[in-house]
Structure 1
Amino acid sequence: MAEGHGGDRPVSGGPTTGDDTVLAAGCVLWRRSPHSDEGIEICLVHRPKYDDWSHPKGKLKRGEAALVGAVREALEETGYQCVPGARLPSAYYIANGRPKQVSYWAAEATTGTFAPSEEVDRILWLPPVEARSRLTQPRDRILVDALLQALHSA
């Protein structure tokens, strides 16, 4: 589920422990490029409500494990099944006046087809450099670097 980006503020000091923290999860979804033997592409989602580009992510359901939620959100927002890999850095920020923690995983896309929805109207598969510059939030750009490092060390 989407959150706003206009009022987001980083939470100083990292994770928060209050009961009001919104827990979310997502994937940095990638695939081997169909245009290049060596490259990869990263999937970005466009949310019309906020007119932003981000990685697929959303709020966890009550009692849902973060990894399960990350894979569910990737499927719901992109239409692609995926195989999760390395854990990536979590993001901590204030959204809509509440602290939010988003756990991320690298995830290789397998099968699927995108269908536009009210929440996500477009996706793009971009090489990492282009994906990094297209992302709206600086905290999402850090995840591209973390994905590349995880894939390189695998």
Structure 2
Amino acid sequence: MTVTQDPVYAAGCVLWRRAASDDGGLEIGLVHRPKYDDWSHPKGKLKRGEGALAGAVREVAEETGMDCRPGAPLPTAHYLANGRRKQVRYWAAEACAGRFRPNREVDRLVWLSPAEARSRLTHERDRPLVDALLAALHLA
């Protein structure tokens, strides 16, 4: 199949926070999208004229209810979605404040250890982002 259309541009974050437990370990926030019945990092299509970082922060807020502090850029994902090329730019982002409320696109938010997050992610392409986050935070 030959793909000739421009790619779909999207952005998202690997959202993290310090665990409330005594060890203060890292937790990664994953979202469940009922439309696709999958677990992923918060992400979404960019609006016309929107910068990738601004779009990533907006998508985190829309999908998780969290304000975040973006940090290091992470690898960009390239894949086919519904027959179109898709490019998703990612950043590490620390969750600062907020509260999750289920919405039309996302019905659940879970906070998991990196190992649990890696296992829960539906798409193989999302798993290396966990390792990239740990490397960016100098935890790998």
- Does 1:150 pair with 2:133? no
Q: Report the counterpart of residue 28 of structure 1 in structure 2.
A: 14
Q: Report the counterpart of residue 100 of structure 2 in structure 1.
A: 114
5+ residue gaps, structure 2, are none
Aligned counterparts of 2:23 and 2:96: Cα–Cα separation in 1:
17
For 1:21, give the aligned amino acid. P
Q: Per-residue CA shift, 1:48-88, capped at 9, x if unaligned? A: 01100000000000010000000000000000000000000
Aligned counterparts of 2:89 and 2:56: Cα–Cα separation in 1:
8
Quick one: which of 96, 99, 112 aligns to 1:126?
112
Using structure 1 for the length normalisation, give the TM-score.
0.86
Quick one: which of 2, 27, 30 aligns to 1:44?
30
CA apart distance, 1:20: 1.6
CA apart distance, 1:92: 0.1
For 1:53, give the aligned amino acid. W
- Does 1:64 pair with 2:50? yes
CA apart distance, 1:19: 5.6
5+ residue gaps, structure 1, are 1-15
Using structure 2 for the length normalisation, give the TM-score.
0.94
Structure 1 residue ranges, 4+ long, deviating more than 2 angstroms after superposition: none
Cα RMSD of the aligned pairs, angstroms, is: 1.4
Task: Count residues with an aligned counterpart.
Answer: 137
1:148 aligns to what SS in structure 2?
Answer: helix
Provide the identity percentage. Answer: 71
- Does 1:96 pair with 2:82? yes
Aligned counterparts of 1:98 and 1:112: Cα–Cα separation in 2:
34
Aligned counterparts of 2:98 and 2:138: Cα–Cα separation in 1:
25
For 1:105, give the aligned amino acid. W
